[in-house]
Amino acid sequence: MSAMAAKKLRITLVRSPISCVPAHRATVKALGLRRMNAVVEHAASPAILGMVRAVSYLLDVEEIS
């Protein structure tokens, strides 16, 4: 198991994706965030990190162990 796979991220939706590009709205939905202040936890995989980077202006991200 690599060190990256052991890390987890706590992702919170802090801004509304209503006026965003449709692709960014779809990314937020794919992360499992349905409403404001929703919180999800994901493993820090390259796919999740890329999704988070794409919509980072809408999210608050914490690394948890």
Cα of first residue to Cα of last residue in the chain, in angstroms, is 14
Task: Render pLDDT for 2-61 as a digit per residue (tens, 0 to 9).
Answer: 555 579 999 999 999 999 999 999 999 999 999 999 999 999 999 999 999 999 999 999
* CA–CA separation, 12 and 58 (whole Å): 9
Residues ≥6 apart with Cβ < 8 Å to 17? 24, 25, 28, 55, 58
Q: Return the pLDDT at 9.
A: 97
Tokens, residue 45: 């995989």
Q: Return the pLDDT at 42.
A: 97
* CA–CA separation, 5 and 48 (whole Å): 11
Instruction: Report pTM.
Output: 0.87
Inform me whether the pLDDT recorded for 1 exceeds 80.
no
Residue 65 banded pLDDT, cuts 50, 70, 90:
confident
Residue 45 three-state SS: coil
What is the CATH number for 42?
3.30.1390.20
The whole domain housing 34 covers: 3-64
Domain count, the chain: 1
